[in-house]
Amino acid sequence: MRRFVTALVIALSIGFIVVPSAAADSGGLVVTSATVGGQDVASTNWGAPLRLVPGEFVDVELRVANNGNHAVHIRRADLSGRVLGLVFFSYLVPLDVSVAPGATETMHYRLELIGIDDQAIGLMRGDVAVVGDNGDRIAWIPMISDVRGSLLSVYGLFGIALLVLTVLASVDAGLAIRRHRLSGNRWLRGVRLLTPGVGVGLVLLFTATVVRLWVPRTPVWLIIAVGTAAAFFALGYFTPTPDGQHGADEDAEGDAQIDEADMDEATMGTADIEDADLGEPILADVDEPVLVGADSSTLVDTSAD
In the chain, what is the straight-line distance between the N-terminal and C-terminal CA atoms, in Å? Answer: 112
CA 295 from chain center: how many Å? 104
Q: What is the pLDDT of residue 21?
A: 39
Concatenated DSSP letters for 121-149? -EEEEEEEEEE-TTS-EEEEEEEEEEE--
Q: What are phi and psi of 62, to 5 degrees?
A: -130, 125
State percent of the chain over pLDDT 90: 54
Average pLDDT over every residue of 2-11: 48
| pLDDT tens figures, 193-209 | 888 999 999 999 999 99
The number of angstroms, rounded, from the C-alpha of 4 to the middle of its chain's C-alpha atoms is 9
pLDDT, average across residues 11-35: 60
Name the region of 226 (left: φ>0; alpha: ψ -120 to 50; beta: rest).
alpha
Distance, CA of 201 to CA of 227 (rounded, Å)? 8
Name 94's Cβ contacts closer than 8 Å, sequence gap at least 6: 75, 76
Greatest Cα-to-Cα distance within the chain, rounded to the nearest angstrom? 168
Q: What is the mean pLDDT of residues 226-240?
A: 88
Q: What pLDDT is attached to residue 182?
A: 74
For residue 137, the cross-strand partners are 22, 131
Q: What is the pLDDT of residue 250?
A: 43
Give the whole-angstrom CA distance, residue 46 versus residue 196: 28
CA 195/CA 198 separation, integer angstroms: 5
Query: Pseudo-torsion of CA 98, 100, 106, 110, nearest 10°?
Result: 10
Beta bridge partners of 87: 82
- The string of pLDDT tens digits covering residues 26-58 is 568 999 999 999 999 999 998 899 999 999 999
8-state DSSP, 45: B
For the stretch 135-158, pLDDT in tens is: 899 999 999 999 999 999 999 999
- Say which range, 152-166, 178-192, 274-288, has the weakest mean pLDDT: 274-288
What is the average per-residue pLDDT within 12-25? 42
Q: Which helix (H) or strand (E) holds 83?
A: strand 72-83
**Does residue 223 surpass a pLDDT of 80?**
yes
Measured distance CA(193)–CA(171) in Å, rounded: 11
